[in-house]
Structure 1
Amino acid sequence: MLCLLLTSHSANAAQDGSHIQPDNFYPRVKLETTMGDIVVELDRTRAPRSANNFLRYVDKRSFEGTIFHRIIEGFVVQGGGYDEEFREKPKFPPIINESGNGLKNDMYTIAMARENDPHTATRQFFFNVNDNDSLNPGRDWGYAVFGMVVEGYDVVDAMAQVETFYKATIGWADVPREPIILTKATVLPPFSPTTEQSATNDGDTQP
C-alpha cells in the first residue's frame, strides 16, 4: 500500500508543470490571441510554483478558447479563467502565493490573479499595463508576478485600450465589448542567444 501511495504521489508531482522543460529556468510561452501574439518569459528562479502552474495549464491546452474578461486601461488585462460564454473553466487546486519573491507588478509583467484570500490563485492571470505598486506586498499579501512580456508589447497595449462595458447578465464591469480570445498557448523551444546569433550571422555580414 505504501508503494502505491508513493507512486501515486510521484505521478501527481510530475504533473505540476515542473516536468515541462525541467532544466529551463526561464521558459517562454507564446499566447496567440484574436488581437495578435504575445510571448511571455516565465521566471522559475523566483516564482517556481506560479510558473509551473501556468505551464501545466498550457501543457493541457486548457487556456485555448478562454477570454480576457476584465480590462482596465492603465491597470490590468486579465484572463485565462472563462470561455466565450463566461463559463468557468476547470482548474487545478490553488497554489501558494509567491508575491514576496522580489518581482514587482511593473509594466508588462504577468502575475497571478486571486480572490481576497492570498492563497487562492488557480488559472487566472493578468498583464500589468502600468507600474502597479498597489499590487505589491506590503502589510498585506500582494499579487505574485511570475514573468514578463518579451514580445507583443503592442498587442498588450492595444488590449488595454479596447472599449469595455458593464455586462448586466453576469454583473461584471470592465468586460471588453468585443471578445478577446486566447486561441492557442504553446511552450516555445528553449531560448538560445548563441543559436540565434549564429543564424543571424549566416551568409554575408555587414561591418
Structure 2
Amino acid sequence: MARIKPQALLQQSKKKKGPARISVTTIILCNLIVVLIVFFVFATYRHWSQRSRLQTESRLSVSEDEDAFVDSKKSDVPGFAVLNTAKGDITVELYKESSPEVVDEFIDLCQKGHFKGMPFNRVIKHFVIQAGDSKKVGAAEDWTLRGKHYNHLDTSMKHEAFMLGTSKGKRDDRGFELFITTAPIPDLSEKLIVFGRVIKGEEVVQEIEEVDTDENYQPKANIGIIKVSLKQKI
C-alpha cells in the first residue's frame, strides 16, 4: 500500500473543513419565498383593516341616519301654541318630551278646530281658569277647598302658576278641557296632566281670572278661545 504524502493529506483536510457553497438559484428562491410571505401578511392585514373600517363607518352611518330620523320626527311636532282669546293672546310652550301622548292629542284636536269658540266655563281666582264644555261644578269646588287647605306646602315646578294641563282619566274629544293655573297648586298632579306652560300672555290669563263669576265659578260675561294656532318656533 502506497503511503500518502503529508502535503496531500493537508490539502485533503482543507477541502473537508471548508464551507459548502450555496448556489445562486437557492438564494433567489429563498428571497422570493420571503417576499411572498411578507406580501401575503401585508395583504391580509390590509384586507381586514379595511373591512373593519368599513363596518365601523357603516354602523356610524346607520346610527346617524336613525338619529336624524328621530330628530326630524321630533322637530316636526309643533313646540308652541298660541291661544287667541277675547282678552288677547296666550302663548304656551308644549312639553313634547315629558307628555308626548297628550301633546299629540292636543295638536290633533287643534288641527280639527276642537278649541275654536270654546268658552272659559270655570274661573276660580288665585287658582285656575278652565276652558271646556263640562257643566260639572263639584270638581271645581273640590279643587278650591283642597287648594286652600294645602297652600302652605312646598311646590314643584309642575305645581307653579301659569301651567297648562288637562284632566286625567279617560277622555273623548269633547272631554279634552284646558286648565291654566293662576297660582301654585300643591295637589295639581292628582287632578291634571301638565303638558305645557304659559311663556307669554300671563297678563291675559290674569285678566280672564278677574272677570265676574256666579256662585258656580262661571263667568257672567261670555269669554272664550277664538282659535288656537300651532307654531314650530316663537
Normalised by the length of structure 2, the TM-score is 0.55
Deviations 1:50-69 (A, max 9, x none): 11111111111111011000
Asked whether 1:187 is paired with 2:227, we answer no
Instruction: Give the Cα–Cα distance (whole angstroms) in 2 for the partners of residues 161 and 62 of structure 1.
Output: 25
Instruction: Give the Cα–Cα distance (whole angstroms) in 2 for the partners of residues 120 and 62 of structure 1.
Output: 14
Instruction: Give the Cα–Cα distance (whole angstroms) in 2 for the partners of residues 119 and 135 of structure 1.
Output: 18
Give the match for residue 95 of structure 1: none
Instruction: Give the Cα–Cα distance (whole angstroms) in 2 for the partners of residues 182 and 150 of structure 1.
Output: 17
SS in 1 for 2:98: coil
Structure 1 or 2: more strand by fraction: 1
Instruction: Give the Cα–Cα distance (whole angstroms) in 2 for the partners of residues 119 and 131 of structure 1.
Output: 25
Give the match for residue 40 of structure 1: 92
Task: Indicate if the aligned counterparts of 1:103 and 1:146 stay in contact, CA closer than 8 A.
Answer: no
Letter in 2 for 1:51: V
* Residues 1:25 and 1:59: Cα distance change in structure 2 (over 3 Å): closer
Give the match for residue 51 of structure 1: 103
Instruction: Give the Cα–Cα distance (whole angstroms) in 2 for the partners of residues 29 and 39 of structure 1.
Output: 6
Deviations 1:4-45 (A, max 9, x none): xxxxxxxxxxxxxxxxx7525661111111111111110110
Moved more, 121-130 or 71-80: 121-130
Instruction: Give the Cα–Cα distance (whole angstroms) in 2 for the partners of residues 153 and 76 of structure 1.
Output: 13
Higher CA-based Rg: 2
Give the match for residue 31 of structure 2: none
Asked whether 1:130 is paired with 2:183, we answer yes
Normalised by the length of structure 1, the TM-score is 0.61
Structure 1 or 2: more helix by fraction: 2
Give the match for residue 221 of structure 2: 178
Gaps of 5+ in 1: 1-20, 87-101, 167-172, 193-207
* Residues 1:64 and 1:127: Cα distance change in structure 2 (over 3 Å): same
Gaps of 5+ in 2: 1-72, 136-155
Give the match for residue 162 of structure 1: 211
Give the superposed CA RMSD.
2.3
The alignment of Structure 1 onto Structure 2 pairs a total of residues equal to 140
Asked whether 1:110 is paired with 2:164, we answer yes
Deviations 1:92-133 (A, max 9, x none): xxxxxxxxxx8613101101124xxx4447410100100101
* Residues 1:58 and 1:45: Cα distance change in structure 2 (over 3 Å): same
Letter in 2 for 1:30: V
Identical aligned pairs, as a percentage?
A: 25
